[in-house]
Amino acid sequence: MRRRHFIAGLYIPLLAGPSWAQSAKAATAGAPRILVVGDSLSAEYGLKRGTGWVALLEQRLAEQKIAAEVRNASISGDTTSGGRARLAPLLKTYQPTHVVLELGGNDALRGLPLKNTADNLAAMTQAAQQAGAKVLIVGMQMPPNYGADYGRQFSTLFGDVAREHKAGLVPFLLKGIADGANAAALFQADRIHPREEAQAAMLDNVWPELRKQLR
């Protein structure tokens, strides 16, 4: 795995506009507004637009007749530090009822201190909760070549933050994909970013916990 594929950037611009703000004001109290703050795994890196797991989430909500809106604020190459820096204006602009935090993989690939990653995730969780949103933390794991001890500490920090701040948790976004028997066929040539065929499984990993929070 090479760092540049996570940090070399494909910027997916936010489709910001009056529609979200207007609908937020007009929405009933029970209408969910979901904000996804993530990195390339949520920003459709290397995929055709509209085929990533976040886009599939919108389709599933519609199929299940859940009147929710989804805003994807994911940027390829982003770290927890970057997400923390841009979260406040996102909360103010979109007034989400639910925030999905899918960040941390690039922290590890850059060799950033794990304490910083945990602190940033905790700060983002608290900020979203203080803004009235429920938070779902989406975890990641590192491949074995990063070392067993490091990998264990990294994978467990997501759960530690979620428990401490009473947030929802998806332990591993790529469960059944990166650790499955057909892993090689489910990744792009960089062996980091899942192909279109894996996006439904990624959504299936997120959906049960998010669905709980939408009830």
17 half-sphere exposure, CB direction, 13 A CA radius: 3
Q: Compute how many other C-beta atoms are within 10 angstroms of the C-beta atom of residue 172.
A: 16
Residue in 5, 42, 74, 193 annotated catalytic: 193
| Contact present, 54 and 39 (Cβ < 8 Å) | no
**Distance (Å, rounded) from C-alpha 58 to C-alpha 34?**
10
Q: Max alpha carbon distance in the chain (Å)?
A: 51
> Does 190 participate in catalysis according to the annotation?
yes
Tell me if residue 160 is catalytic: no
Q: Is 81 a catalytic residue?
A: no
29 class by beta-carbon count within 10 Å (0-12 exposed, 13-18 middle, 19+ buried): exposed
Q: List the catalytic residue out of 5, 40, 42, 107.
A: 40
How far apart (Å, rounded) are the C-alpha atoms in residues 121 and 168?
A: 13
- The catalytic residue among 119, 160, 190, 204 is 190
- Could you tell me which residues are beta bridge partners of residue 69? 33
The tally of CA atoms less than 13 A away on the side-chain side of residue 188 is 16
Q: How many CB atoms lie within 10 A of CB 147?
A: 11
**Range list of H helices, 16-113:** 18-26, 53-63, 80-94, 105-109
The residues assigned a catalytic role are 40, 190, 193
